[in-house]
Chains A and B, each alone.
Chain A
Amino acid sequence: MIALVVDGIILGSILSLGAVSLTLVYGIVRFANFAHGDLMAVGAYVAFFLVNTVFATLDIPIATFGPLSFGLPMLLALPLAMLMTAVVAVVVDRLVFRPMRARRYATVMFVIGSLAVAFAIRALVFIIWGPEFHFYTQALRPALKLPFDVRVKPDQIFILLACLAMVAGLYLFLQRSKIGQALRATADNPDLARISGINTEHMMIWTWAIGAALAATAGILLGIDSQIRPEMGWNLLLPLFAAAILGGIGNPYGALVGGMVIGIVQQVSTAFLLPTYKPAVAFVILILVLLIRPRGLFGSEQRGF
């Protein structure tokens, strides 16, 4: 049981990162983006392409870092994949969502558009990389033995630390930087932000870029932890939304806690249920939250952060 909780914390940290970025995007663009899981998949696949296809032909030392399963290629691929995924998200916004904003479409049209984008991304992943599972590496790394019969892979400790670092970085960015403050202002009240001289269209670009870069990181970390597959984005959608809503949608710090809770409950559920039921477990939590406390644990009546 303790082992499952520990696994849950690792999964939870990845879900947290995904849910934080989902809810960040939601706070600014103001619709549920059903393509968010697939942005995670884009990040994971771009990193796979860089590490296993591009870098393999270059002269990059492939030695792994100590007990970790990856080395310099992955560390180089991570920022590049973040950048690529950010570009994908900004281009999608240009092609699909910005014209909708210009035409003052109702929220429902954005939501339907984002579902189309999600499936389009998945179709492209299938076309380019095929339906098979992929692994970043075949190397097996021994797990560390901790007290209480808990085994942790060194990779998993890296994942946890990386997620915490990313979220802390986001916190500092939102609190300290000029753009972060402008983003928060836009999330709070777009009209007020606009008359204060903030270019909200620029804020959209920043939001998509940052949200997608964080999503890409979460996707890559998930790939390091298990494997990458074309449906991964779709399967993540329910846990991500459950986490974001549990934490109070639009509230990144709530999403952090929400992701942890969902991750731990999902892993612990595998003691009683088949692991394939994990998305359904997230769905049950989601319904319970909607019934009992629809604004989430940390949601206020006003949205924003």
Chain B
Amino acid sequence: MTVEAILSSGLLNYLVGFLIVASIYALFTLGLNVHFGDTGLINFGVAGFFAIGAYTAALVTKPLPTGELARYTQQAFGLDQPFLVGIIAAALVSGIIAVLIGIPTLRLREDYLAIATIGIAESIRLVFNNEQWLANGSKGLVGIPRPLYDLVPTAYYNYVYLGIVIIVLAVVAVLLERMIRSPWGRVLRAIREDEVVAAAYGKNVFAFKLQALVLGAMVMGIGGALYAHNAGTISPSVFEPVFGTFIVWVMLILGGSGNTKGVILGAFVFWAIWAGTQFATDAFVPPALNSRAPHFRFLLMETLLVLMLLFRPKGILGEERFVSTLRPR
């Protein structure tokens, strides 16, 4: 077989598409790891930051629709900016939302943040669903530009995009790992273990929690942006809680909350399990129950999380114990 035939074969294409989405979910999981794994914050609104990142990137990089398309598509603005500007904007807007949600909730019991993040995610989805003028309402946006699209023939474009996603994932993972091993990161873990003790050592617990919430949200925003450019089209139905939030929690707990390598592994392993259950439901669920088939898979996912929580709460890899970056491990 020639190189060309191998690169364009169906199986390999499937694998590349699989790796792109798994890497994007790994970014969400990394963001959630900053929240929960490192700081102990319960964010049940991953889907909200996912949506904000995706819509921001789309509106910043898309031009305003023209001609025939303008009759069917409404959007508040379209800045036609390059890919990197979109990524940065996505991270910034997600960070701002995190500040707004953090201020009223981070001084209170941990359950209040969980409730408030569900609220923000639902509200964001409702706004994008109902406000036609903002980003075309429930029909969503199409034709989101793809970075470096002209570099290679279209058939090979996914390889380029996989490269971009892996570079972003690697940069984010290395940066987060360095931050969490810094004195700053150790304060986060101290807060997770015992807030009162951290406060007694003179740490401003609220400020550190807010920083962690913002940092994690920004990573999620970047993940959302990469999702939008990969899919090329987004609509509010993408950001439903099960698919936008819950799956990320399953990946986090499965891989090992508090372990950077673990949560990335969790994202890839769970995305593989998820793809496997797709084949299983296609094969075993009768066509008459097609509209219910996804819910068999959801039930499986929810059962898996409960079993993990009960029998292996540390996940596949478990948390790495470390004292200081200065001391050899």
Q: Which residues of A contact B (CB under 8 A)?
A: 31-32, 34, 95-96, 99-100, 105, 107-109, 111-113, 115-117, 119-120, 122-124, 126-127, 130-131, 234, 237-238, 241, 245, 274, 276-277, 279-280, 282-283, 286-287, 290-291, 294
When chains A and B are docked, how far (Å) is the Cα of A119 from the Cα of B250?
12
Given contacts A96-B306, A120-B303, contact A279 B122 (CB under 8 A): yes
Closest chain B CB from A1 CB (angstroms) = 23
Partner of B249, one of A96, A115, A127, A280: A115
Contact A115 B291 (CB under 8 A): no
Whether B42 is near chain A, meaning CB under 8 Å from some CB there, is yes
Is A120 within 8 A of B302, CB to CB? yes
Stretch of B153-161, B204-212, B270-278, B292-300 on the interface side: B292-300
CB of B174 closer than 8 Å to a CB of A:
no
Contact B111 A31 (CB under 8 A): yes
* A/B interface sample: 9 pairs, CB < 8 A: A108-B110, A115-B249, A116-B305, A123-B299, A127-B296, A241-B115, A245-B115, A276-B129, A283-B119
- Which residues of B lie under 8 Å from residue A119 when comparing CB positions? 241-242, 246, 298, 302
In contact, B129 and A32 (Cβ under 8 angstroms):
no
Interface residues on B, range: 35 or more
Distance (whole angstroms) from the CB of A79 to the closest CB of chain B: 29
Interface residue B7 (Cβ < 8 Å from any Cβ of A): no
| A238 touching B303 in the complex, CB below 8 Å, given contacts A96-B310, A294-B108 | no
In angstroms, Cα B253 to Cα A109, docked, is: 11
- Bound together, the chains give a CA A286 to CA B298 distance in angstroms of 29
| Pairwise interchain contact A290-B309, C-beta atoms closer than 8 A | no
Task: Tell me if B120 is interfacial: C-beta within 8 Å of chain A.
Answer: yes
Is A238 touching B119 in the complex (CB atoms < 8 A)? yes
Once the chains bind, are B116 and A290 in contact (CB under 8 Å)?
A: yes
CA distance A131 to B292 in the complex (A): 8
Query: Looking across the interface, which residue of chain A has its beta carbon closest to that of B293?
Result: A127
Q: Are B130 and A277 in contact (CB under 8 A)?
A: yes
Q: Are A290 and B120 touching (Cβ within 8 A)?
A: no
Inter-chain contacts of A131 with B (CB < 8 A): 291-292
Contact (Cβ within 8 A) B105 A290: yes
What B residues does A245 contact at CB under 8 A?
112, 115
Point out the residue from A96, A112, A122, A238 that lies within 8 Å of B42, measured CB to CB: A112
> What A residues does B119 contact at CB under 8 A?
238, 279-280, 282-283, 286-287
Q: Is B118 an interface residue (CB 8 A)?
A: yes
Chain B 237-248, CB-CB to A under 8 Å as 1, else 0, gives 000011000100
Residues of A within 8 A of B36 (CB): 108
Chain B contacts with A in 115-174, Cβ cutoff 8 A: 115-116, 118-120, 122-123, 126-127, 129-130
Provide the bound-state CA to CA distance between A95 and B127, in Å: 38
Find the residue from A96, A111, A127, A238 having the highest chain B CB count within 10 A.
Answer: A127
Complex: how many Å from CA A116 to CA B103? 27
Residues from chain A with Cβ under 8 Å of B292 in the complex: 126-127, 130-131
